[in-house]
Amino acid sequence: MRNRFVIWTISTVIVAGLLMAVTTYFGQTPAPAYRAPRTADGKPNLNGIWQALNEANWDLEAHAAGFSRVLALGAADATPPGLGVVEGGPIPYLPAAATKKKENFEKRVTLDPEIKCYLPGVPRAMYQGMPFQIIESPNVIMMAFQFAGAVRTVNMGKPTEAPADSWMGWSNGRWEGETLVIDSTGFNDQSWLDRAGNFHSDQLHVVERITARSADTLNYEATIEDPQTFSRPWKISMPLYRRVERNAQIMEFKCVEFVEDLIYGHLRKQPTTSR
């Protein structure tokens, strides 16, 4: 009787051990998650200068290499190919929005707000290809972007409502364990999502999840919801990389000056012909 119990216990332990070994071997159990270093007040420390290293700003969706937007720039401006950052298939545009996206693409040289040095909006600012800096404090997390000197103020206190629509939106953040979750609304309908004409309306609602995945990389995810433009919420995800240069800093890219002749050149007393 007693022996039988011992044998039963031993075999159970062996079977359980085998099972565990098998599941681990086949990758069923997730690898232990990375735990970010902590700030002095105990929050995951995401401070630093970060940058996307992908082709999302050219086109969020998978795309082959393509022609330059400007004949004169040849290969220098040719679209680099990208595997896409949209999870689970194409962006679910509503029929009218799909038509508009196509038009945007065709007229992108005149319509893309990036070309006019307008504020990039969210999520585009996060993967526009220039660095941005996260400055974390207990009540507020600032994100300062090199492009156009754009800035996001993420309120970490009690969530507040957007007082008016804006380019960069109104962001409320919270910590969910290792993850910084940012809920943003209050957007205008002027910014785009990339250079391919992907766009949104002022009903845009973005929920971002930022998690450290190693000392020098972050996982960045954004769920994009806009019932006026898309048939369902959809998600993009990508890593962000730390600028590890010891002297890395956000430099000035005040691009207004660079686009004045483009925007107002035809209104000069002597119209601008080139540049």
Partner 1 sequence: MVGPTLKKRRMQMSRRFLVSICILTIILLATLSVAGQAPATGAKAQPAAKAYKAPRTPDGQPDLQGYWTNATYVPLERPNGVTKEFYSKEEAVQLEKRAAERETEQTEPGTVADVHYDFTQFGLDRNQSTFASSMRTSMIMDPADGKLPPVTPEGQKRAADRATERRRMGPTTDAVQNMPIGTRCIIMAGSGPPMMNSGYNANYQIVQGPGYVMILTEMIHDVRIIPLDGRPHVSPNVRQWMGDSRGRWEGETLVVETTNYNEKNPFRGASQNMKVTERFTRTDANNIDYKFTVEDETTWTRPWTAALPLKTSVGPIFEHACHEGNYGVRNTLAGARAEEKRAAEAAAKKGSQ
Binding interface with partner 1 (CB under 8 A): 39-41, 45, 47, 110-111, 117-119, 133-140, 142, 144, 149-151, 153, 155, 160, 163-168, 188, 190, 246-247, 249-252, 254, 256-257, 260-261, 263-264, 266-270
Cβ closest to partner 1, residue 47 vs residue 79? 47
From the CB of 181, what's the least distance to partner 1, in Å? Answer: 19
Task: Give one DSSP letter per residue of 140-197, joined into a string.
Answer: EEEEEESBTT-EEEEE-SS----SS-BSS-EEEEEEETTEEEEEEE-B-S--BSSTT-
Cβ closest to partner 1, residue 150 vs residue 196? 150
From the CB of 251, what's the least distance to partner 1, in Å? Answer: 7
From the CB of 140, what's the least distance to partner 1, in Å? Answer: 6
Rounded-to-integer distance, Cα 84 and Cα 189, Å: 23
Beta bridge partners, 160, equal: none
Cβ closest to partner 1, residue 118 vs residue 234? 118
Rounded-to-integer distance, Cα 208 and Cα 218, Å: 12
Cβ closest to partner 1, residue 87 vs residue 260? 260
Rounded-to-integer distance, Cα 191 and Cα 198, Å: 10
> Of 78, 53, 76, which is closest to residue 65 (Cα–Cα)?
78
Cβ closest to partner 1, residue 92 vs residue 189? 189
Cβ closest to partner 1, residue 75 vs residue 267? 267
> Of 173, 177, 176, which is closest to residue 158 (Cα–Cα)?
173
From the CB of 82, what's the least distance to partner 1, in Å? Answer: 28
**E-strand spans in the chain?**
48-52, 132-136, 140-145, 151-155, 170-176, 179-185, 205-214, 217-225, 234-242
From the CB of 227, what's the least distance to partner 1, in Å? Answer: 20
The token pair that represents 151 in the structure block: 């800035």
17, 137, 193 from 11: Cα distances, Å: 10, 54, 58
Cβ closest to partner 1, residue 62 vs residue 111? 111
From the CB of 187, what's the least distance to partner 1, in Å? Answer: 11
Enumerate long-range contacts of 79-84, CB under 8 Å, 24 or more apart.
79/55, 79/195, 80/55, 81/55, 82/54, 82/55, 82/56, 82/58, 84/59, 84/60
From the CB of 210, what's the least distance to partner 1, in Å? Answer: 15
